[in-house]
Amino acid sequence: MLFKFTSSDIQNTSIIDCATGAVIYEVSTPRSCTRSRSRSTASLKSFASFGSYSQEKLAPEPKITSILDEEGKVVANITWEDRHASVIRIGEETLAGTAELFDAAFVKVLPDETLIPTRMEYTWRTTHDSLTLLDDDEEEVGRFYEDCLSEDFIPAHIPGTGCNYLELDPRAPDELLELIVSYLLIHTLRERLYAIAKYVYGSHRQESLPLLQTPMSRLRRQASMSFANLRNSLRRVVS
């Protein structure tokens, strides 16, 4: 099974079944807005100086990512609080965030890879340049291909001009939907994780100055010393 994402924005994209050319899912995330209400002011002073209305800002509405099937029916959604998924609905089942979708107790954050188990006994394995899905025998059953020109996975010569693909072994429809939802979450998490980790294990070394004297090396050294905190932070994200 091979699926094509029509947009690099994972929260707003169509997912195409490459075997049929049909759109099997639409992923949509409307922008959240800040609610406000008008309040009449009875003070003569405020009336004279600022007018009779003021705006009282309320908390922003939650951001919700919806997954729609080919008939336009919402089959899953993710409710976000800041950058964390607080509620996940898949079909008729509602989960209390990622804690019920992933097994946070067994997350492994290593220098060269991160392993995130799911409740379906699959494990997402992510590195700086790859994302794969493993079964309980650690055999690869899925792989993400980024920024490719075609289904042959030829990398785009100009960054950002290709499409993303997700290849999976054949799955039942309900299992496929849950894997798609977990993929959306893992993809978002991976971008955040390696935006941090590249400063720990990246190649941005300034050779013109001694390693201990460069600002970047100091940042990397501090991050390395607290890499255990990254593991704990990651567990909080998936819990």
118-141 average pLDDT score: 93
Is 117 inside a domain boundary? yes
Is 121 inside a domain boundary? yes
Is 149 inside a domain boundary? yes
Is 103 inside a domain boundary? yes
Domain that holds residue 171: 2-32+59-237
178-203 average pLDDT score: 75
Is 114 inside a domain boundary? yes
Is 218 inside a domain boundary? yes
Is 199 inside a domain boundary? yes
Lowest pLDDT segment from 55-64, 66-75, 101-110, 193-202? 193-202
Total-model pTM: 0.74
175-198 average pLDDT score: 83
Q: What is the CA angle 65-66-68, rounded to 5? A: 155
**Residue 138 has what pLDDT?**
92
Highest mean pLDDT among 61-65, 88-92, 147-151, 194-198: 88-92
What total of structural domains would you count in the chain? Answer: 1
What integer best gives the mean pLDDT of the chain?
79
Is 41 inside a domain boundary? no
